[in-house]
Amino acid sequence: MTSTNEKTANEPGTGVQHSFPSVFSLENKIALITGGGSGIGLDMARCMIMAGAQVVITGRREAVLQEAKASLGEKAFYFVNDVTDLHGLEGLVQDVETQVGPIDILVNNAGINMKKPALEVTDEEFSRILQTNLHSVFSLTRACARNMVKRQSGSIIMISSMAAYYGLDRVVAYGSSKSGIEGMVRLLASEFSKFNVRVNAIAPGFIETNMMKTAMSSDPNRMAKALGRTPIGHFGKPEDIGWAAVFLASEAAKFITGISMPVDGGNSTGF
């Protein structure tokens, strides 16, 4: 971002000077993005670095994280971590804060999908999806929020889904986990707001990543249906979610908490 585009203005009623676009800047912030080695998480890391942040990405595959770090540059760090190892999450937060610095922004992005008729979903499969997409999100959020609450500052972003907005067939476990996220955002926002810690979700529409390709490639009817109800007329790119995350994490969103923001080309409202 160049300073030539910057304009300053008094915040109405306060006389406090803000500059545009610095209210959107993440300069001097540290973001922890789970599942940041690929797909939406990787582009979110790229967008946050462009906005000035240092970014820590996590995931289970070290080779993927190494490659991601090489493409992101010196403001990126990685830690190999499986979010389903709940007992390891306090240690992850401690390691990041000791080796990189205090976490200002947490993005709970890591997630897995499973497309299967509900009657065929086993208890083990249902638990596995809930453990990755919901329980680990709570445990990591609790570990990060302890320090954010002490510092009286923080922004937590969850990644929801259209599967929590309307009835999609064959994703009962995934949709249940994301519906849990929607509730968790409101519940945690009500507890953490008084400590200046904001909690919000982004609900992506259909975004071109490996996850979406796996779910859609063998199912052209589903793909046509998803596109048919997306008024913008094409699928989203990971960076579309990345820029929304930059906004929600920035000072520009300082009065926004407890929401789920669709970034979906109109999919959630389309016919």
Tokens at residue 150, please? 């002490």
What burial class does residue 168 get, using C-beta atoms within 10 Å of its C-beta: 0-12 exposed, 13-18 middle, 19+ buried? middle
Q: Which of 26, 30, 37, 156 binds ligand NDP (CB under 6 A)?
A: 37
Tell me the site size for ligand NDP, rule CB under 6 A: 29
Among 177, 183, 164, smallest CA distance to 126 is for 177
174 is catalytic: yes
Under the criterion CB under 6 A, does residue 207 sit at the interface with ligand NDP? yes
Interface region with ligand NDP, contact rule CB under 6 A, candidates 2-10, 80-88, 91-99, 243-251? 80-88
Query: Could you tell me if 37 and 61 are in contact, meaning their C-beta atoms sit under 8 angstroms apart?
Result: yes
Interface region with ligand NDP, contact rule CB under 6 A, candidates 7-15, 97-105, 202-210, 250-258? 202-210
How many Å apart are CA 29 and CA 148, to the nearest integer? Answer: 13
- Amino acid letter, 261: M
Instruction: Show the binding pattern over residues 217-256: x = contacts ligand NDP (CB under 6 A), - = does not.
Output: ----------------------------------------
CB of 195 to ligand NDP, least distance (A): 26
Q: Which of 22, 25, 84, 153 binds ligand NDP (CB under 6 A)?
A: 84
Under the criterion CB under 6 A, does residue 110 sit at the interface with ligand NDP? yes
- Amino acid letter, 184: M
Interface region with ligand NDP, contact rule CB under 6 A, candidates 3-11, 19-27, 81-89, 94-102? 81-89
How many Å apart are CA 183 and CA 259, to the nearest integer? Answer: 10
CB of 159 to ligand NDP, least distance (A): 4
Tokens at residue 199, please? 């909690």
Under the criterion CB under 6 A, does residue 262 sit at the interface with ligand NDP? no
Interface region with ligand NDP, contact rule CB under 6 A, candidates 11-19, 139-147, 185-193, 200-208? 200-208
Closest to ligand NDP by CB, 154 or 262: 262
Span 39-78, contacts to ligand NDP by CB under 6 A: 39-41, 58-61, 64
**Residue 21: alpha-carbon gap to chain centroid:** 22
Closest to ligand NDP by CB, 57 or 197: 57
Binding site for ligand NDP (CB under 6 A): 34-35, 37-41, 58-61, 64, 82-84, 109-112, 132, 159, 161, 204, 206-207, 209-212
Q: Catalytic positions, please? A: 174
